[in-house]
Structure 1
Amino acid sequence: MRYIKDIVSNKYKISLYQWNNKYIIKIESGMYEQTYKIDQYEVSNVEEIEKCVDDLFLNKVTNLFDSMNVDFTDTLKRNEVIF
């Protein structure tokens, strides 16, 4: 996997990679991460990908991170890993 660049965000660490004829957008928040892939032929350049990482998309990313946290915490409690 080849690192391309970071995409600026005040809230998340967002990295762009290239691998196996795909661009990979990796968004990290603490212990959680989300990864999105797009075929290289779908976009003409990296700037198009950066444009897609807009406020509306990042709001949905935030909602998904919140949901991931709830789900993971619930299973830890249910299985008595944490109390």
Structure 2
Amino acid sequence: MRQLADIPHPEAKITLFSWNGKYLIKLEKGQLEQTYKVSELDVTSDEDVRELLDSEFLQAAVARFTQMRTDLQAAFDRHGL
């Protein structure tokens, strides 16, 4: 796996990788992580992948982190952990 870029964002760490014919977009916030895979056949370059990271996509991803945290906490609560 080859790291192509760290993409600055105030609410999440975003890293772009190239691996096995795919671009991987990895978003991290605290202990949570989201990874999106984009086939190299679907875009012409990593610049196209960066274009996907528009404000609408990133707002949804950050909101998803909140839901992920809520889901994990609910599982802990259900099991008394």
Do both share a fold (TM > 0.5)?
A: yes
Cα distance, 1:46 vs structure 2: 1.0
Counterpart residue number, 1:36? 36
Counterpart residue number, 2:73? 73
Q: CA RMSD in A?
A: 0.8
Cα distance, 1:34 vs structure 2: 0.3
Counterpart residue number, 2:16? 16
Cα distance, 1:10 vs structure 2: 1.6
Question: Percent same amino acid among aligned pairs?
Answer: 36
Structure 1: tracts of 5 or more residues without a match: none
Residues 11-36 of structure 1: per-residue CA shift (max 9 Å, x gap): 11100001110000000000101000
Secondary structure, counterpart of 1:28 in structure 2: strand
4+ runs deviating over 6 angstroms: none
| Alignment check: 8 A CA contact 2:11 2:62 kept | no
Which residue identity is paired with 1:25?
I
Counterpart residue number, 1:2? 2
| Alignment check: 8 A CA contact 2:12 2:62 kept | no
Structure 2: tracts of 5 or more residues without a match: none
Secondary structure, counterpart of 1:42 in structure 2: coil
Cα distance, 1:60 vs structure 2: 0.6
1:58 aligns with 2:58: yes
Secondary structure, counterpart of 1:60 in structure 2: helix
